[in-house]
Structure 1
Amino acid sequence: MVMVFTIVSAVQEQLTVLIEETREKQIAEKERAKREEEERERKKFEGTRVTIESFLAWKKKFDAEMMEKKRLKNELIKQEKGKTGK
């Protein structure tokens, strides 16, 4: 009887240890996943670092786009004046 009690107690102790280890692993995995998700979210807001070269390239492209829009607007105004003048 004493021997059975000792064996059952040892098995219960091992099961408790296994359950605790499993629970700790699950908690650690959830925390790791949460940290990874937070890192991905943080990276979304970082954007591209601006350097002098990248700004100048962007400005050149932007100025060209604005000049084109201004040219198209002027052409449209000329066309409207031509239609109303006739």
Structure 2
Amino acid sequence: MVFSKQVESPITTEFFIDEPTRAKIEYQNGKALMARGPQALHEHVVFHMEKALGRALPQMEVRFKDVSISADITVKDEMNLML
């Protein structure tokens, strides 16, 4: 793989692969755009936007205060497992 540029942000350092070595993203419909997954589509859009703008896109850091996260889970112990 050939890495073309490095983008540094406060959170991560990302490397973008040269466009000729990237997987081709098709524009026929939404399914074709998402065929390689959301991350590949995002990198594709970012690559072309930065190329058109001639600069890196702005980065944003999101922080939360007093956040509560919960999840409904089912727990089974070894006695309840059936083989």
Q: What is the TM-score normalised by the length of structure 2?
A: 0.24
More helix by share: 1
User: Higher strand share goes to which structure?
Assistant: 2
